[in-house]
Amino acid sequence: MKVLLINGSPNKQGCTYTALNEMSKVLNDEGIETEIYYIGKDPIAPCRACRACGKIGRCVINDKVNEFVEHAREFDGYVIGSPVHYGSASGVVVPFLDRAFFVDFMSGKDSFKHKPGTAIVSARRAGTTATLDQLNKYFQINQMPVISGRYWNMVHGQNPGEVVQDKEGMQNLRILAKNMAYHLKCKEAAQRAGINPPEAEQVEYTNFIH
């Protein structure tokens, strides 16, 4: 089993990385492989809403989003990490996830469907719960079980050293990682027992026009 932890901060080894790394260590202790994927700080173009990905199976914008979508399909669970910028997720992670999830959906691969996901955020002070709500929506629209901890998944600090001092936040990340591992192990046991995901229905689209 493998979990992909996505670092949506422009700082490669800053506060968000520190939080993700804490989860990674716990998951490894639980026998689960991990990889921390750094989106980077280069500009990520927003979705053009051209829907060409539904025909060609990839985004027409040739950047690392296409590379990520192919790579991410090999994983069993996902953690999205972001700093709080102006009360919401970073300007890098939002267009990146918009396009990655849309490409996967439009191509019909459904790579993330029924796989567990969770979001974590880091902030100096505030904006954390709004950012968590924003990131969790990517899971909720893709039939992904959302893994929770014992508190909202956030850490506070101006730098990695201060994040480590947030004992409650760091403890919750460890609990969160253990809950992720537990879910993955339960899912694996269910598959061995012949318990499969529910049969998909034909999707119904309703436009609110009379």
Topology adopted by domain 2-192: Rossmann fold (3.40.50)
pTM above 0.75, yes or no: yes
Q: Where are the domains of the chain?
A: 2-192
* Residue-averaged pLDDT of the chain: 96
pLDDT tens digits, one per residue of 146-159? 999 999 999 999 99
The mean-pLDDT minimum among 4-8, 123-127, 202-206 falls in: 202-206
The yes-or-no verdict on residue 192 having pLDDT over 70 is yes
Confidence of residue 60 (pLDDT cuts 50, 70, 90): very high
Q: What pLDDT score was predicted for residue 109?
A: 87
- Using DSSP bridges, classify how beta strands 77-83 and 2-7 pair: parallel, antiparallel or unpaired: parallel
Mean pLDDT calculated for residue range 98-105: 96
